[in-house]
Amino acid sequence: MKTHNVTLTLLLINLFIAFLGIGLVIPVLPTLMNELGITGTTIGYLTAAFAIAQLIVSPFAGKAADKFGRKIMIVIGLFIFGISEFLFGIGKEIEMLFFSRILGGISAAFIMPAVTAFIADITNLDTRPKALGYMSAAISTGFIIGPGIGGFLAEFGTRIPFFFAGALGTIAALLSIILLSEPARNVEHIEQASDGKFGYKRIFAPKYLLAFILIFIASFGLAAFESFFSLFVDHKFQFKPSDIAIVITGGAIFGAVSQVLLFDRLTRIWGEIKLIQYSLILSALLVFLMTVVHSYFSILLVTFIVFVGFDLFRPAVTSYLSNIAGNEQGFVGGMNSMFTSLANISGPILGGILFDIDINYPYYFATVILFLGIVITWFWKKQASGLSKKVKASAANF
């Protein structure tokens, strides 16, 4: 049990570090714009470069985690992360910064599916929901703390945050080499369906397709919400940067804490499918409410609760997929990462186009997309129920 706890803790730290590095860049972007004389459009492409690289590499990295092992992919990913952060720290040309962010996306593509598969291998059907809840909380916490640490370290120099993150990634890689052991593949899963689909065609396997679509829908809604929140409240309510920081950071912390406290309990009460459905309903309603609230307190309340919906959805769908993936844990983790990245690219792009037409349109559109996800869950219930029975039968036979 002690070894298991050490392993799980190290895996969560690895994820935390990887997503910490993503957030570090946020507070220093204005300074970089002035230093390098680049435009906001270029900054947008620089941000998208990470997600695009992660999108392209995730499917291959997921399959590699199944073929070559979880540990090796995590270690390589952490070393790549360390290199990417050091390169960003020394980069004086925009080309170097783009190369650094692409490497960062590749590192995330290596780490995310391998850690997800690793956790699935060292847990069972009872303990997995809680472990995946912790995993999602580690990701959220990295996003939350990243900008804060970046802003603090930037006081000592614009590039210091990146050297700090690079050192953390390298240390995590070395600790993973020493402390992690390749897990035995968990056989407490439904056997892989012999539907004749391989490679990318596995995306369209009936047991996966709707779950992947829902991952995209929820991630799209979150990306559209977060990407334009600062512009939205600035234009509509004249929020100061300090107000925006309080609302976003407070909401994200509230969501992460709620996730740790509620996810395991709600999963046991409702199961993953109902929890996914209720999370989407909650998220859709609150994203729409952002367009009608007016007072500071109401904005604060809506933002805090909307993160709960998004933060409960992520581990719920990850837990569901891990339970049905059989010997395709790496593949499923890669697809999860790929569809999330696809949403993180398309959400801000479409949101930006709509924002220029009307500041409320990105949230209207995100609400429509989330309600589409709710409709999909109604068709998903019957299919998922059948798969769930197979999982339990498989576990009982084992």
pLDDT confidence tier of residue 395, bands split at 50, 70 and 90: very low
Kindly report, residue by residue over 364-387, the tens digit of the pLDDT: 988 999 999 888 888 776 655 555
Q: What is the pLDDT of residue 398?
A: 44
- pLDDT for residue 190: 41
pLDDT tops 90 at residue 304: no
Pseudo-torsion of CA 330, 22, 51, 102, nearest 10°?
Answer: -90
The ranges assigned to domains in the chain are 1-186, 192-398
The more confidently predicted of residues 75 and 136 is 75
pLDDT at 391 over 70: no
Answer for the pair 203, 209: CB distance below 8 angstroms, yes or no.
yes
Residue 341 token pair: 């990245």
- Closest to 255 (Cα-Cα) out of 324, 315, 168, 337: 315
Select the highest-mean-pLDDT range: 40-44, 90-94, 124-128: 90-94
What pLDDT sits at residue 316? Answer: 84
Task: Check pLDDT > 90 for residue 311.
Answer: no
Q: Which of 206, 150, 376 is nearest to 280 (CA)?
A: 376
Of the chain, the percentage scoring pLDDT greater than 70 comes to: 82
Q: In which residue are the tokens 């995310």 written? A: 112
Q: So what's the pLDDT on residue 228?
A: 67
pLDDT at 27: 64
Give 18 or 291, the one with higher predicted confidence: 291
d(CA 128, CA 117): 11
CATH of region 192-398, choose from 1.20.1250.20, 3.40.50.720, 3.40.47.10, 1.10.357.10: 1.20.1250.20
List, as one string, the DSSP characters of 11-63. HHHHHHHHHHHHHHTGGGHHHHHHHHT--HHHHHHHHHHHHHHHHHHHHHHHH
**What pLDDT is attached to residue 76?**
95
**47: its two tokens:** 């941000």
Long-range contacts of 212-215 (CB under 8 A, 24+ apart): 212/335, 212/336, 212/339, 213/339, 213/373, 213/376, 214/276, 214/280, 214/317, 214/373, 214/376, 214/377, 214/380, 215/317, 215/336, 215/339, 215/340, 215/343
DSSP state for residue 292 in the 8-state scheme: T
Residue 217, pLDDT > 70, answer yes
pLDDT reported for residue 186: 61
CA–CA gap between residue 32 and residue 321 (Å, rounded)? 40
Nearest to 16 by CA among 24, 27, 26: 24
Residue 173 has pLDDT above 70, yes or no: yes
Query: What pTM was computed for the model?
Result: 0.66
Which of residues 269 and 236 earns the better pLDDT score? 269
The count of other CB atoms within 10 Å of the CB of residue 251 is: 25
CB 340 within 8 Å of CB 215: yes
Place of tokens 């609302």: 247
DSSP assignment letter at 189: S
Do 192-398 and 1-186 fall under one CATH topology?
yes
Those residues whose C-beta lies under 8 Å from the C-beta of residue 208, and which sit 6 or more positions away, are: 202, 321, 324, 332, 335
Percent of the chain residues topping a pLDDT of 90: 12
CB distance 289 to 302 below 8 Å = yes
How far apart, in Å, do the first and last CA atoms of the chain sit? 22
- Confidence band (pLDDT; 50, 70, 90) for 194? very low
45 versus 216: which is more confidently predicted? 216
pLDDT tens profile 98-154: 999 899 989 988 988 888 888 888 887 777 777 877 787 787 677 667 766 776 777
* Buried-state track 95-105, b at ≥16 Cβ within 10 A, e below 16: eebbbbbbbbb
Pick the more confident residue, 81 or 350.
Answer: 81
Spatial separation of the C-alpha atoms in residues 314 and 84, rounded to whole Å? 27
Owner of token pair 């029975």: 389
Rounded to an integer, the average pLDDT of 332-348 is 77
Lowest mean pLDDT among 49-58, 231-240, 255-264: 231-240
Mean pLDDT across the stretch 67-81? 92
Q: So what's the pLDDT on residue 147?
A: 66
Q: Which of 396, 128, 59, 154 is nearest to 267 (CA)?
A: 128
> Which backbone phi and psi does 101 adopt, to 5 degrees?
-70, -35
CA distance 159 to 35: 12
Cβ(363)–Cβ(287) under 8 Å?
Answer: yes
Q: Which CATH architecture has domain 1-186?
A: Up-down Bundle (1.20)
DSSP state of 154: G
pLDDT at 81 over 90: yes
**Which of 305, 316, 300, 328 shows the shortest CA–CA distance to 377?**
316
